[in-house]
Amino acid sequence: MKPLIAALLLALVAAPAMAGDVVDTSFVKAEGAHAFNVRDLVMMDRVGDPQLSPDGRYAAFGVRSTDYVANKGVNAVYVLDLAKDGQPVKVVDKGSSARWSADGRSLYFVAPVKGVAQLWRVDLGGKGGLSLAKHAVPVQVSHGVLDLGGYKLSPDGKQVLLSYEVFTDCATLACTQQRLDARAKDKASGTLYDKLFVRHWDTWADGRRNQLFVTRFDGKGQLAGEPKRLSRGIDGDVPSKPFGDEGEFGFAPDGRTVYFDVRIAGTSEPWSTNFDVYSVPADGSAAPKNLTAENKAWDAYPVASPDGKTLYYLAMKTPGFEADRFAIMALDLASGAKHEVDPQWDRSPGGLTLSADGKTLYATADDNGQHPLFAIDTASGKASQLVGEGTVGGFSLAAGKLLLTRDDLKRPADVYLAAADGSSLKQVTHFNAADLKNTAMGDAEFFTFKGWNNETVQGYVVKPADYKAGQTYPVAFIIHGGPQGAMSNGWSYRWNPQTYAGQGFAVVTVNFHGSTGYGQAFTDSISGDWGGKPLEDLKLGWKAALDKYSFLDGDRACALGASYGGYMTYWIAGVWNQPWKCLVDHDGVFDTRAMYYDTEELWFEERENGGTQYEHPENYEKFNPLNHVKDWRVPMLVIHSAKDFRIPDTQGLGAFTALQRRGIPSQLLHFPDENHWVLKPHNSVQWHDAVNAWLKQWTAKDAPKAASH
């Protein structure tokens, strides 16, 4: 065993740049065949938001490319004529959220004007079909002083719902902007709060709420005058913050009623998941009406039936539990009677889309390591898988056809077309094809084993990109976050197993108890037991993988995780550190006691720990990584970001302090401009470079052994 000082010196050699140093995140695009790497990852075109034209002939979708020099993504809108074998045509250079007009001859989209997001329209009409190559110049149709947050067109195309972030006591949009301008000029910088949230996700509260407005197009297709606020009197965000979208509001088929969901904030917002579905006349002639007041859990994503008689929506049953199963509910709008459509389907679907005849609902859901698209019969509740293997992202339905994006562990998203029953699935775009052809990736294989309580648990292994039979390889053991999430057959731009496979690592991951897609009881089982059943699954899964796959070198393995995966990394640092040569922890929970008071969404902490910390301190201490620092010994890279308000960076700083004070080889990579995720291209490259260097340093065949403590 080498002396500790030697290990520390070696750790310093690979230390990240300190203040004043320059980190080289530039690169020259690799030519020819090579193993997949982060520089391939950040430059890929990201395809999403597929929208099928009303006649089913044209596909509109968004593509985010990377301007690496400017360190940002650039959004564009493409249209593909599905009746031909041609290539997609870029119809909007800079814009997103494209939606078809009611007649299918124009696209609306959002793009900035002098730094303010506005609604635009591009007319594509031509003889015998749309004119994609020689379309009209896009026209700005909204002229508000505030950023447009989201929109939805009415079925007849004559009205539009708009979301703006406003001060709710302001009568006009201009009032909100004037107040913001006045604050910016004030030399006093303090903000006085009298309730939570004071900050959420990555943003400090300033008193504004997302509110829902409606307006009509005039004879020239413009949105003139002040829009009418439909959510007046609602102390909440429509859509919800931070990730709400247009799926949370919409018109009735006749355009006379609007439905939306919202959580009334009051003083309990941080510990409440009580969203409700509301209706309001589209002309604003009456106040919004709560349609789901009796359910104190989460009701959301309303969709009206084509005949306007039934409102479908998703509902949870357990108050305060954000990972409860979403059931599909049907509300008879005449009688007020409600019933669950799919009580026998043990999956939790996402937002709903309804067929033109009202007989079929479409939704995606996690399912045994995949994320398929399902059709749910509205009469019987029977769910049928339409598009299975891989991950279905966005999708749309029109004229008996399905348009969707799909990806998997070896392929980023592209657009696919299928019949409404999922048959005749065909890939219709091939973005990134040339680059993918030159990159070697690792093959993936799912496996199962007997985990906690002898119950079946699933995981997968990814071979290194340079895999050769008979050889052994170091291992990256990735622990997913959530904790109610899963490592599934999908492409990721953050924790992508192929970035490790391309560096010569095999990857092992386990969907431990608490993961989604294996039934709600399996998901529920982690609450109150963060360091129990999941740890046993990880141990048994690691053993099962080593027994099954001879190419895994169990003596050269590092464990990595983010969020809950970061919590588990800190936890195993004290209670299961024997197998690991190094650890990587991204935005993890180090001290569960302090986490309760530092985080923003208290409902999560209270559900997972059986109540508040001051009422049940023993629950917060039961699996607290901080209490096992005395047993830490494995070299660790800690990564945390200053704008992460979900798990504040004091958690990472505390862990790094513990490591340094104990003399354990360690590094801290801190991002002042990122949130719970690392999103900027240069930061992503720096993140991957630091992680890969750490893994290689400690899994090398001549790597130093950390001294015992």
What would the pLDDT profile of 246-266 be if each residue is shown by its tens digit?
999 999 999 999 999 999 988
Q: What is the pLDDT of residues 131-164, one digit of tens each?
A: 998 899 999 999 999 999 999 999 999 999 999 9
The pLDDT > 90 percentage for the chain reads: 92
Q: What is the pLDDT of residue 30?
A: 80
Q: Are 46 and 63 in contact (CB under 8 A)?
A: yes
Q: Which residue of the set 563, 641, 666, 684 is catalytic?
A: 563
For helices 564-575 and 533-548, give the axis angle rounded to 10 degrees.
Answer: 80
- DSSP labels, 159-198: EEEEEEEEETT-SSHHHHHHHHHHHHH-S------SSS-S
- pLDDT digit string (tens) for 676-708? 999 999 999 999 999 999 999 999 999 887 655
pLDDT at 13: 34
pLDDT value at position 22? 67
Sequence letter at residue 648? P
- The answer to whether 644 is a known catalytic residue is yes
pLDDT value for 9: 31
CA-to-CA distance for 115 and 144, rounded, in angstroms?
12
Distance separating alpha carbons of residues 3 and 667, to the nearest angstrom: 19
Range name among 117-131, 349-363, 535-549, 554-568 with the lowest pLDDT average: 117-131
Concerning whether 408 is annotated as a catalytic residue, the answer is no
200 is an active site residue? no
Residue 15 has pLDDT above 70, yes or no: no
What residues contact 427, with CB distance under 8 A and at least 6 apart? Answer: 406, 414, 415, 416
Per-residue pLDDT for 5 more than 50? no
Which of 513, 586, 640, 676 is catalytic? The answer is: 676
The H or E element containing residue 415 is strand 411-419
Taking only the tens place, the pLDDT of each residue in 466-519 is 999 999 999 999 999 999 999 999 999 999 999 999 999 999 999 999 999 999
CB atoms within 10 A of CB 657: 16
User: Distance (Å, rounded) from C-alpha 558 to C-alpha 170?
Assistant: 54
Cα gap 564→306, rounded to integer Å:
42
pLDDT in tens, 171-228: 999 999 999 999 999 999 999 999 999 999 999 999 999 999 999 999 999 998 999 9
Q: Half-sphere exposure (CA, 13 Å, Cβ side) for 581?
A: 22
Other beta carbons within 10 Å of 694: 26
Name the token pair of 291. 């349609």
Q: Is the Cβ–Cβ distance between 635 and 583 less than 8 Å?
A: yes
CB within 8 A of 335, min separation 6: which ones? Answer: none
Residue 549: per-residue pLDDT: 98
pLDDT tier at 612 (50, 70, 90 boundaries)? Answer: very high
Residue 634 CA to residue 614 CA, distance in Å, equals: 33
Average pLDDT, the chain: 95
**Is 90 exceeded by the pLDDT of residue 16?**
no
Q: What are phi and psi of 609, to 5 degrees?
A: -120, 15
According to the model, what pLDDT value does residue 26 have?
Answer: 74
User: Which residue has tokens 């699933």?
Assistant: 458
pLDDT tens string 662-680: 999 999 999 999 999 999 9
Q: Is pLDDT of 14 > 50?
A: no
Q: Is 589 exposed, middle or buried (0-12, 13-18, 19+ CB in 10 A)?
A: buried
Mean pLDDT computed over 626-636: 98
**Cβ–Cβ < 8 Å for 572, 609:** no
Q: What element of type H or E holds 500?
A: helix 497-501
Q: HSE on the CB side for 681, CA within 13 Å?
A: 21
pLDDT at 2 over 50: no
CB contact set of 240 (below 8 Å; sequence gap of 6+)? 210, 248, 261, 262, 263, 275
Read off the pLDDT of residues 34-61 as tens digits, 9 standing for 90 and up.
Answer: 999 999 999 999 999 999 999 999 999 9
CATH of segment(s) 440-699: 3.40.50.1820
Q: What is the token pair recorded at 633?
A: 């010994």
For residue range 85-119, list pLDDT tens digits in order: 889 999 999 999 999 999 999 999 999 999 999 99
In this structure, how many other beta carbons lie within 10 angstroms of the beta carbon of residue 443?
13
Give mean pLDDT, residues 220-244: 97
Specify the pLDDT at position 24.
80
Q: Cα-flanking dihedrals φ and ψ of residue 435, to 5°? A: -70, -40
For residue 572, what pLDDT is reported?
Answer: 98
**d(C-alpha 597, C-alpha 613), whole Å:** 8
> What residues form DSSP beta bridges with 380?
none
Residue 127 has pLDDT above 90, yes or no: no
Count CB-CB contacts under 10 A for residue 519. Answer: 14
Domain ranges of the chain: 440-699
**Neighbouring-strand partners of residue 145:** none
Average pLDDT over residues 521-539: 98
Cβ partners under 8 Å of residue 660, min gap 6: 666
The Cα–Cα gap between 215 and 218 comes to 9
Within 8 A by CB and 6+ apart from 483, the residues are 514, 515, 526, 530, 534, 564, 567
| Residue range 345-389, pLDDT digits in tens | 999 999 999 999 999 999 999 999 999 999 999 999 999 999 989
In this predicted structure, the answer to whether residue 4 has a pLDDT above a threshold of 50 is no
pLDDT of residue 33: 95
Q: Which of 40, 49, 407, 644 is catalytic?
A: 644
